[in-house]
Amino acid sequence: MRLAASAEADVSVVDDATVRLKGVLDDTLASLMERLRRNFRSNQLEVPVHRLLVQMFEGATVEKRAGPGEHGADFLIRERDRFDHERTTVVQLKDYGQVLSGQRALEQIRDAFRWWAPVSAAVVLSTAACEDPAFAKARDELAEEFGIPVKVVLGEQLARWFLAHLEAVAAD
């Protein structure tokens, strides 16, 4: 009788292994982002992010432009399609604690759009946990003005990318 009752209870309970594994993943991603931010302050984050982009965009040219002559692009990703058309994506990296806000990143995207033309897309890659609604609105307006996608990748997604490519990114 106890075995039958136990079996019925097990069937009705959500798979707690999945819930616990999700917790492990969430903790791993949070710890990974925290460790990246602690070990690579501000512009030091450019080196691991460059390595990450090289791994993620196999076959593309990933140029690190960060610094005084960047003209709004920390990275340029240049890809060629099968018709030999080049697509250029501008990436602006921002190390923010919690909220991606302000106008600086968007001003840099504006500068990059003009300097590195033709630009096919722009991305603000940030360690921030979330995007300020005013920033999102201004970003959408910029995308409409230029007629290109202007996207944001936040800390959790950045951590997921690092986790997926960490072994290759950590190799010399």
pLDDT digits (tens, 9 = 90+) for 92-145: 999 998 999 999 999 999 999 999 999 999 999 999 999 999 999 999 999 999
Mean pLDDT throughout 64-80? 94
165 in a structural domain: yes
H/E element holding 136?
A: helix 133-146
Mean pLDDT throughout 80-96? 94
1 in a structural domain: no
73 in a structural domain: yes
List the domain range (segments joined by +) for residue 161: 36-170
* Tokens encoding 77: 């990703």
94 in a structural domain: yes
Domain count, the chain: 1
Domain containing residue 92: CATH number: 3.40.1350.10
26 in a structural domain: no
Angle between helices 155-170 and 16-39 (to 10 degrees): 80
* DSSP string of 64-98, one letter each residue: E--STT-TT-SEEEEEE-TT--EEEEEEEEE--SS
HSE at residue 171, side-chain half, CA atoms within 13 A, is 6
pLDDT of residue 11: 52
Q: What pTM did the predictor assign?
A: 0.85
3 in a structural domain: no
pLDDT of residue 16: 85
Across the beta sheet with 61-64, the strand order is: 61-64, 75-80, 86-94, 121-126, 150-153
Q: Select the more confidently predicted residue: 1 or 57.
A: 57
135 in a structural domain: yes
148 in a structural domain: yes
Mean pLDDT throughout 141-153? 97
State residue 48 phi and psi, 5-degree precision. Answer: -65, -35
Mean pLDDT throughout 18-41? 90
